[in-house]
Amino acid sequence: MTTGTSPDLSALIARMSLPEKIGQLTMVTGHWAVTGPRADPLSLATFRDGSAGCILNLWSPEAMREAQRAASEESRLGIPLIIGFDVVHGHRTVFPIPLGEAASFDPALWQETAAAAAKEAAADGISLTFAPMLDVARDPRWGRICEGPGEDPYVGQVFAVAKVKGFQGRSLDDPARLAATAKHIGAYGATLAGRDYASADLSESDMAEVQLPAFASAVAAGVAAIMPSFNDIAGLPSTANAALLTGLLRQRWGFDGIIVSDYNAVAELIVHGVAADHAEAAALALRAGVDIDMMGGSYSRGLAEALVRGLVTLPEIDAAVLRVLRLKERLGLFADPYRGIGPDAEPARVAHRGLARRAAAAAMVLLKNEAKALPLSSTGGAIAVIGPLAQAADDMLGPWSGAGRAEDCVTLLDGIRAAFPGRTILYEPASGFDSAKATMALAREAEAIVFCGGETRRMSGEANSRGEPDLALAQRRLATKLIATGKPVIAIICCGRPIVLPPVLVDKAAAILVAWFGGSEAGTALGDVLNGHSEPGGRLPVTWPAAIGQIPIYYARRRSGRPADARQHYTSKYLDIPVEPQFAFGHGLGYAPLRFANAQVDRATIGPGQSLTVSVDVVNDGNREGATVAMLYVQDPVASLARPIMLLKRFEKISVAPGAVATVHFTLTTDVFAFLGIDMERIVESGRIDLLIGGRAVEEELLRLTIEVTGGRSHIAAASVRAAVNR
């Protein structure tokens, strides 16, 4: 095929042999050679003979040119490759992990970092990213909680839209953008006991109201691809779930992009125990709606056989091939297989360092700040920097490092050194170990101690579930000794999930700052926050447990008939641990004393087709500029189904000048009060609704407005009872 033209795709399919068709549905992987990522000779041969049309894990201009040349110039039909990669939180410039980004509650920033990552990745020849990851997760034992937006479905929705817009831009043929993949549809975040790849078994309403909304938003925003999850729901693996992938995604939501399996997930249908061989696995996946088999080899080994056995039809194969070719066309790959490859990405990368610095500071969550321990003064006695994460450049990359390099990362120690030129910074390389005498000598010599602890990057992410997500014993011991010096201890916690913190830190540290895995500029951003140049901009997008036994824990729980009451025995509580989390969803302190006041609503009732506006003042009583996140939650006190105590429906990040008042406005229509009723229809019910406005999800702290919803169903309507009986 000559480059520079767009082919008639149906005519192209008519010219394809069956192996060439199956090749378009087959994704192989690149590998790491001594010189960097490469397509091996075997893959290049499959591109030339048309038996593979997609590849992942390949980047760099040279490798891309070689691979695209094999496919688009040296194969019979000259069809270019889709080249996919996990550009999850940055490419060469690495941004904070998604859970950290979510903490910034800043959709414009979410979009900006995705656009920057797309630009760098596209210049390396990538056309498809396997991101955003949109799995709502409420169990910090699950290592992949770090890759997504946290526990809240509404945050997930806003995150989805921002990321899809950022990666894809206005048009997929923009050579500086990527096709995005919303992943992993199928309640991956709800796997049993937080164990990766395990079954999920959840209610229809949890699926519809918690797990799926972010995916619906990604589809509405025009996401190009979707990836089903590895796990099964009640025995049906998502890769074979026709009701989900075809019924819901394509038919109800109108999704017209491609569905790409997860790595080896088609072949794993055999291991799950729902397919006897590759032919059955291939047939189940294709008929469910999976277009591309990523590394499972089931389509290449079993699809032709499935056709012979009558398990699939040729039109079904052709339909999948057409969707893949259409994406290649939308990406502009037929017109230019080398799209985007080439321009020197260096200037863009330099510009992205500033963004990475801003994003990392915006993600940091200040959990505690006793007696204004932070920010630290630019002058004063020595600061001892102690702990295993202080000089851990590689860990700053987080679990999906993209093309990021440890040597590009600013460590926490280096960031602190740069931020406090006027103070002596004491550091001892062996300071990760509590036994090191030298470490304690530094601690005693210092005026303040910055303890850098938490997890390493390989303790979070895929296959890294932890049964006991807490601080390692050695770190707990070290923290105890540091606190015992009597010096103020500022604890910096790097992590991919909320980890249960020891009482010695919760009670006695002067400050606790969650830094997640901050990316390329992790250290610089920490310096900015510690010296007060930047606000710690994050608020928790996930509830922080006080004890492991509380997990799963999240704010949008139901009240129960016997809400927890320590004075009453027969209530929903534990004998041995508290019910309340250590830090609530939305918790996070700033440096300025901001407060919410004067919540108002412009009408007392709202019916179908109407909207109302809620306003709230954010008052800055201090003498420095401050920022916070105004949250609006909805509480439905009486409904036909017991509703979560509160649900986040709007948020806005806002900065307020010293001594000033800023007003936030939220506009609502009745759809925010809708829920999945007993008869599995989305309904709005008439009656009282309370709007809770302020910061973190602590009912008593929020400002309350009461409104009346009219024109909806009655919560006690006989009709819904009848429908339920008849189901």
In DSSP notation, 21-66 reads HHHHTEEEE-EEETTEEE--HHHHHHHHTTS--EEES--SHHHHHH
Nearer to ligand BGC, 228 or 695 (CB): 228
DSSP classification of residue 265: T
Write down the least CB distance from residue 229 to ligand BGC, Å.
Answer: 8
What stretches of 209-364 adopt beta strand conformation (E)? 225-228, 232-233, 236-237, 258-259, 293-294
Interface with ligand BGC (CB under 6 A), residue from 106, 120, 262, 685: 262
| Minimum distance of ligand BGC from residue 405's CB (angstroms) | 19
Q: Which two tokens stand for residue 408?
A: 């590009």
Which 433-472 positions form the footprint of ligand BGC (CB under 6 A)?
A: 462
- Residue 710 CA to residue 603 CA, distance in Å, equals 12
Contacts (CB under 6 A) with ligand BGC, residues 513-542: none
User: Residue 311: helix, strand or coil by DSSP?
Assistant: coil
The nearest distance, CB 636 to ligand BGC, in angstroms, is 35
Residue number with CB closer to ligand BGC (56 or 190): 56
Instruction: Indicate the DSSP class of residue 90.
Output: B
The DSSP letter of residue 685 is: B
Q: How far is the CB of 135 from ligand BGC (least distance, A)?
A: 10
The CB-of-30 to ligand BGC minimum distance in angstroms stands at: 11
Nearer to ligand BGC, 263 or 666 (CB): 263
- Strand 225-228 relative to strand 258-259, pairing: parallel
Pairing state of beta strands 232-233 and 236-237? antiparallel
Does 47 bind ligand BGC (CB under 6 A)? Our answer is no
Contacts with ligand BGC, 168-187, as mask; x by CB under 6 A: ---------------x----
Q: Smaller CB distance to ligand BGC: residue 49 or 462?
A: 462
Q: Which is nearer to ligand BGC, 89 or 183 (CB)?
A: 183
DSSP annotation of 663 reads: E
- Which parts of 119-138 interact with ligand BGC (CB under 6 A)? 130
At closest approach, how far in Å is the CB of 133 from ligand BGC?
7
* Catalytic residue (one of 106, 139, 232, 262): 262
Q: How far is the CB of 462 from ligand BGC (least distance, A)?
A: 5
Cβ-in-10-Å burial (0-12, 13-18, 19+) of 371 comes to exposed
Q: Say if residues 56 and 29 touch (Cβ distance below 8 Å).
A: yes
Comparison of 130 and 427: residue with beta carbon closer to ligand BGC: 130
We find the least distance from the C-beta atom of residue 190 to ligand BGC, in angstroms, to be 15
Give the residue carrying structure tokens 């770190």.
475
Q: How far apart are CA 640 and CA 677, in angstroms?
A: 7
The verdict on whether 262 is a catalytic residue reads: yes
**AA letter at 508:** K
Q: What is the DSSP letter of 81?
A: P
**Cα separation, 24 vs 54, whole angstroms:** 7
Give the C-alpha separation, 570 to 235, whole Å.
35
Q: Partners of 31 in the beta sheet?
A: 38
86 near ligand BGC, rule: CB under 6 A: yes
Are 381 and 446 spatial neighbours (Cβ–Cβ below 8 Å)?
yes
Asked if the bond preceding 608 is cis, omega within 30° of 0, the reply is no
Closest approach, Cβ 463 to ligand BGC, in A, equals 8
Pair 441, 386: CB distance under 8 Å: no
Instruction: Return the DSSP state at 383.
Output: E
Are the beta carbons of 570 and 562 closer than 8 angstroms?
yes
Query: What residues contact 289, with CB distance under 8 A and at least 6 apart?
Result: 242, 245, 246, 249, 250, 259
Number of residues counted as binding ligand BGC (CB under 6 A): 7
Q: How far is CA 412 from CA 142, 415, 581, in A?
A: 26, 5, 28
Which of 160, 479 has the CB closer to ligand BGC? 160
Closest approach, Cβ 558 to ligand BGC, in A, equals 31
Longest dimension (CA), the chain: 79
Q: Which of 124, 237, 235 is nearest to 176 (CA)?
A: 124
Task: Tell which positions 314-333 bind ligand BGC, by CB under 6 A.
Answer: none
Nearer to ligand BGC, 100 or 132 (CB): 132
Residue nearest ligand BGC, Cβ-based: 130
Half-sphere exposure of residue 568, counting CA atoms within 13 Å on the CB side?
A: 7
Q: Which is nearer to ligand BGC, 447 or 462 (CB)?
A: 462
Question: By rule CB under 6 A, what string of x and - marks binding of each residue 263-292 to ligand BGC?
Answer: x-----------------------------
Q: CB-wise, 128 or 689, nearer to ligand BGC?
A: 128
Complex with ligand BGC: residue 134 or 514, whichever CB lies closer: 134
- Residues 6+ away with beta carbon under 8 Å from 435: none
H or E segment and range at residue 72: helix 61-72
Closest C-alpha to 130, from 51, 59, 34, 193: 59
CB of 696 to ligand BGC, least distance (A): 30
Residue that the structure tokens 């062996």 belong to: 430
Which residues belong to the active site? 262
Q: Which residues contribute to the site for ligand BGC (CB under 6 A)?
A: 56, 86, 130, 183, 262-263, 462
